[in-house]
Structure 1
Amino acid sequence: MATVKASAAVSHVGRIRSNNQDSGYAGRRLFMVADGMGGHAGGDVASAIATRRIAEADVDYGNTAEAGASLEGALIAANRQLAATVADHSELTGMGTTVSALLLVGDRVVISHIGDSRIYLLRSGELSQISTDHTFVQRLVDAGRITAEEAMVHPRRSVLMRVLGDVEVSPEIDAMVLDTRSGDRWMLCSDGLSGVVSFDEIHELMSADAGAKQVADRLVKASLDGGAPDNVTVVVLDIGEPPAPATPPLVVGSAAAPLAFGQPSEQARPRGIRLTTFRPHPVQETHFEPDSADYFDEIIEEDARRRRRRHWTWGFWIVLLIAAIVAAFALGYQWTQTRYYVGESNGRVAIFQGIQQDLGPISLHELHTETDLDVAELRTYDQQRVGQTISAGSFSEASRIVQRLEDSVE
């Protein structure tokens, strides 16, 4: 039976946001992260309501089937509670939240997931992303339209396709049951971490020989060092011996504060934008868009954008290559015109500008001066030298060569 060796939950408002819409929970057997959406109107309320309702599933279960039904039922109940809250408070219309939850049952974990918060597993030094983002850009990645790197900066990266809230009566929730064993390290996080810190850096930080709390703190700090344009919440769970002593569940983020709605609370009121030199890309409010024909239209448009980018990229490199070739040829030709040689023209000794070779149909030399000295008048050795041409580094040097030839005849 797998036991919880240590766990930790850390949440930070980030460098840009003025209120924390994330919630995190590290309980006895249940661990979860919820990332609210809806801005100041209700993102914090949504994640708090969902976290508190789902936390009621933190009890012992006889088997994974019972645990899975209870956990998924808790998410559906939270969805109904959010819808009822909106019905009573119209100013919260459009609020919603992601949820990534993990429930430990014996030597297995039951997972329920909706939205773009994530669940990672570090096992034997290898890090795996367990959950799949329910986002518009993830669909484009899955369809092969864009890369994971392009998804990080895509203009519609903030669009969620599935959430809990007042938007769907029966949202589709991912559910799975996986094995876990001693030495496993699980991590749940909001996109305030995964949208800023690379997979490789997350792997490095999670692989550190440090406790769950220290690892969670380091992950949050990595997001802050990267600009943290959104709230960031991290829950870390270590499986192993000895089991952690019984402690009260740890709640962080908006779920740790009293609910306040009807009138905007002091905490939720904007207090101005806090600027940071580390800001990686413009901050966008996460929002929900149900499945529609717009998705397919965007796929077509994305393909068109990729073709345009590809054509522009190829065009740029072709133009750059042609320009480089032309520049190299121009510089090379310019250099050849600084050279001279002595040869024969019309039976006379002559000075040529350039070099003896030709480049296809392009001549790299031209007659500069034809003297009155006949080649036939030269000594046999000098006739051979002139016939083979005598190189000179300048016109003055070529003139001195001609003078020596003339002197040898006299």
Structure 2
Amino acid sequence: MALVTSSAAISHVGKIRSNNQDSGFAGQSLFAVADGMGGHAGGDVASALAITRLREIDGEYGSAVDAEFALQEAIVAANAILAETVFEHPELTGMGTTLSALVRVGQSVALAHIGDSRVYRFRDGNLTQITADHTFVQRLVDSGRITAEEAKTHPRRSVLMRVLGDVDSTPDVDLQVMDTRPGDRWLICSDGLTGVVDNDHISEALASEMTPAEVVSDLVKQALDGGAPDNVTIVVVDINSSFDEHGVEPVTVGSASKPVAFEGTLGRRVSRLPGLRLHQRGPADPSHFEPESEDYLDELIEENQRRSRRRKTAWLAGALVIIFAIAVGAFAGYKWTQTRYYVGDVDGQVAIFHGVQQSIGPIALSEVYQTTDIQLDDLPFYTQEQVRDTISADSVKAALEIVNRLGAAVEPEPTPTPTPTPSATPAPEAPAAPVG
């Protein structure tokens, strides 16, 4: 009986590319994605040839180590086929492909990886990138020269350091065996997905209750909504523990789903690969391979350092310009505040202030210009409130006019009423002396 693994595969050309250079496969135990490079003439051919050769090993294995060995042999054979194809058709020189694949054997998976397609595992709500990109910018990130965020916009982000192609007869492929368990969800994808859709959205899709077919459709839609400048190929694998004597129907997507075709074979050697016709070579693919030599790496690192210095210089110059503009604006604003006046109170007396009522933190934008002899308490209640809230003036003359009006509004002290003085009572006249 065959071990059933629920899976789905999808491949979309994207919104910019004229042809699909990706290929993908979801079988009984083998699941793989290849992202071709080399322009219109070779990328689709490279990925199709690699997947076509690799899917021959889809089947049952006694152990994950056996599956790992089968992956290694198939990848070396696929690399030889690519080299032979380039030998027979020199116009395809430079074509190559990434390849990421896994084979499930019971509670283990055997993984093989080269290039910048990726394998992720989603387990217990956590998304983990299992493979490491074989790119120049990943080298810079690993060495601490740039951050992961800077790598996303680095001009050399498309430079691959390892691929399958006609460069090396023994490609340096990452191989490993890992455990897996029911409930795990594996994702294999080309950089057409990860270059547009971030990990949070990928994790959200994988965490959903959607079937693998629904998940791959949702992720492709997200890539298209994000612009999809590259081909997008996705394989989702759900790990379960059920068995089925009939197994599953293998699915091939992308370039590998069609016969490999070339044009223009006239005058060239006949390839031992049947049914090949050569395409006319199209524009160069932005993704390309560079040899993993020390001289080349030193040259790219030196270039990156020069670019980093230029970027820092530009940032510094920009920061200085911004600081200067802020300083000029602040100075101009301060000068304007010193053309303004207002009337307020100081310790209960009406005063004229030079500046504006506001302050910047502990810095006051005004000072006392003149204190008057008008007592705040001598003003009518409503006028007192106006002075406490301050009265703005366009000039010192206007401020003096306000003070004069306030002085005129001073309530006069009441005149005391005089107390009447009691009149004096005349003394009684003395009696007249008798006349004798």
Asked if these proteins are the same fold (TM beyond 0.5), I'd say yes
Identity percentage over the alignment? 50
Match for residue 184 of structure 1? Answer: 184
Contact 1:189 1:232 in 2 (8 A): yes
Shift of 1:311: 3.8
State which of 384, 397, 400 in structure 2 corresponds to 1:398.
Answer: 400
User: For 2:116, what is the secondary structure of its paired residue?
Assistant: coil
Call closer, same or farther: CA 1:403–1:217 in 2, change over 3 Å.
closer
* Unaligned 5+ runs, structure 1: 274-282, 343-349, 369-374, 383-389
- Tell me the residue number matched to 2:248: 247
The one of 303, 306, 315 aligned to 1:304: 306
Q: Does structure 1 conserve the Cα–Cα contact (< 8 Å) formed by 2:29 and 2:58?
A: yes
Moved more, 290-299 or 256-265: 256-265
1:323 CA drift (Å) = 3.0
Residue in structure 1 matched with residue 145 of structure 2 by the alignment: 145
CA change 1:380–1:176 in 2 (3 A) is: closer
Shift of 1:397: 3.8
- SS of the aligned residue for 1:100 comes to strand
**2:229 aligned partner:** 229
Alpha-carbon separation, structure 2, partners of 1:321 and 1:217? 49
Matches within 5 A, 1:302-341: 302-339=304-341
Cα distance in 2 between the residues matched to 1:326 and 1:228: 45
Per the alignment, residue 286 of structure 2 pairs with 285
Q: Note if contact 1:2-1:181 (Cα within 8 Å) is conserved in structure 2.
A: no
| Aligned position for 1:18 | 18
Structure 1 residue 103 displacement after superposition: 0.7
CA shift at 1:243, angstroms?
4.3
Would you say how many aligned residue pairs link Structure 1 and Structure 2? 382
SS at the partner of 1:40?
coil
Give me the whole-angstrom Cα distance separating, in 1, the residues matched to 2:408 and 2:128. 86
CA RMSD in angstroms comes to: 3.9
Q: CA separation in 2, counterparts of 1:247 and 1:334? A: 80
CA 1:295–1:401: 2 relative to 1, 3 Å: same
1:152-177 per-position Cα deviation (integer Å, ceiling 9, x unaligned)? 22211111111111111111000011
Q: Residues 406 and 99 (structure 1 numbering): CA distance in 2 closer, same or farther, change over 3 Å?
A: closer
1:105–1:317 Cα change, 3 Å? same
8 Å contact 1:102–1:112 — kept in the other structure? yes
From the superposition, tell whether residues 145 and 4 of structure 1 become closer, same or farther in structure 2 (CA, over 3 Å).
farther
Instruction: Show the counterpart of 2:32.
Output: 32
- After TM superposition, the score normalised by the length of structure 2 is 0.76
Counterpart in the other structure of 1:258: 259
| 1:75-90 equivalence runs, <5 A | 75-90=75-90
Is the CA contact (8 Å cut-off) linking 1:352 and 1:365 kept in structure 2?
yes
SS in 1 for 2:40: helix
The answer to whether the 8 A contact 1:11-1:252 is kept is yes
C-alpha displacement of 1:97: 0.8
CA apart distance, 1:51? 0.7
Match of 2:432 in 1: none
In 2, Cα distance between the equivalents of 1:161 and 1:36? 14
Question: Closer, same or farther in 2 for the Cα pair 1:269/1:354, shift >3 Å?
Answer: same
Of the two, which has the highest radius of gyration? Answer: 2
**Equivalence for 1:105:** 105
**329-338 or 127-136: bigger deviation:** 329-338
Q: Which residue of 1 aligns with 2:70?
A: 70
Note closer, same or farther for the CA distance 1:310–1:2 as it changes in structure 2 (3 Å cut): farther
- Contact 1:336/1:354 (<8 A) preserved: yes
Q: 1:400 to 1:255 in 2, by over 3 A?
A: closer
Of the structure 1 ranges 38-47 and 307-316, higher mean CA displacement relative to structure 2 is found in 307-316
| Cα distance change, pair 237–11 in 1 and its aligned pair in 2 (3 A) | same
CA contact (8 A) 1:24 1:32 kept: yes
**1:33–1:393 Cα change, 3 Å:** closer
